[in-house]
Amino acid sequence: MNAPNFANLLLEIESNIATVTINRPRALNSLNTETLKELGFVFDFLKSRDSVAGVILSGAGDKAFVAGADIAELTDKNPLTAKEFSLLGQAVFNQVELLPKPVIAAVNGFALGGGCELAMACHIRAASFHARFGQPEVGLGLIPGFGGTQRLPRLVGKGRALEMLLSGGMIDADEAYRIGLANVVLNSFKVDAEGKEFMDEKGRRVFDRDLFMKSVFKMMEGILEKGPLALKSVIEAVNRGFNLDLPTGLLIEADLFSNIYATEDAHEGMTAFLEKRKAEFTNR
């Protein structure tokens, strides 16, 4: 099955890593219904591809990961169609979160509103030094509709989440890292021929998108060196147990821990460790 083409997304598959780029730079990669449906389709496609082991999700251009939902489309909605739009976004973001393969959000700029919600649905968030996160919906007289009121408190705590949700303000990449919203901040600065940081006419450091994406790709490669069935089981254990009481979550973990012992990869990994060599996992 060939990789599909999309109106609002770019899909590249290199080795065993898929890169999905939301490609609406003139609209700062904002999410409309068509883009959400394409995202749902591409994650279904990637789930079915055994040759794809991990996914990197980013936005086109240097300014924005996703700057939010498409406000022009939102103005045409009524209570019924607004709920349908909310449920669509939630369903698609659930697909991202539940994908049994690692998903890294490469946050290359503004991640606001629906963009912050999309980043939070990913398993890991790698932010560029100039990334900005926020849930500004209250400034429009709205509230988040794609999971922001639910995932943000789970990631950063109730008090900090309420501060962001009620103020509608933005935080920078370093603050996002400090509170646990970003997993890592990658200082991908453009350098000149002598290796010195390149400065624009205002004396500001310049973002190097290619270097940033290479760093995220390297991060994903490091993850994918581990046992693929183990990675899948970790994602399943966290997603199934996160909102349950601890004893129930521990039972889920024990079941998955025992199941992994039936795999060839588990025995290969332990044998390789004892023999002081690199494991050769086969996804079996």
Q: Which of 14-18, 202-206, 236-240 has the lowest mean pLDDT?
A: 202-206
At residue 138, the pLDDT reads 96
Which pTM was predicted?
0.94
Chain-centroid distance, C-alpha 141: 27
At residue 187, the pLDDT reads 84
What residues pair up with 64 in beta bridges, in sequence order?
Answer: 110
Confidence at 2, pLDDT banded by 50, 70, 90: low
Give the chain's domains with CATH numbers: 9-224 (3.90.226.10), 228-274 (1.10.12.10)
**Beta-carbon neighbour count of residue 117 at 10 Å?**
28
Decide if pLDDT at 26 tops 60.
yes
Give the residue among 28, 48, 159, 186 at the shortest CA–CA distance from 104: 186
Catalytic residue among 117, 175, 194, 268: 117
**Residue 236 annotated as catalytic:** no
Per-residue tokens: 251: 């039972």
pLDDT digits (tens, 9 = 90+) for 62-106: 999 999 999 989 999 999 999 999 999 999 999 999 999 999 999
pLDDT digits (tens, 9 = 90+) for 171-201: 999 999 999 999 999 988 887 777 777 777 7
Burial class (CB in 10 A: 0-12, 13-18, 19+), 254: exposed
Read off the DSSP letter of residue 147. Answer: S
pLDDT digits (tens, 9 = 90+) for 209-244: 999 999 999 999 999 999 999 999 999 999 999 989
pLDDT digits (tens, 9 = 90+) for 110-150: 999 999 999 999 999 999 999 999 999 999 999 999 999 99
What residues pair up with 14 in beta bridges, in sequence order?
Answer: 17
Catalytic residue among 12, 38, 84, 137: 137
**Residue 38 annotated as catalytic:** no
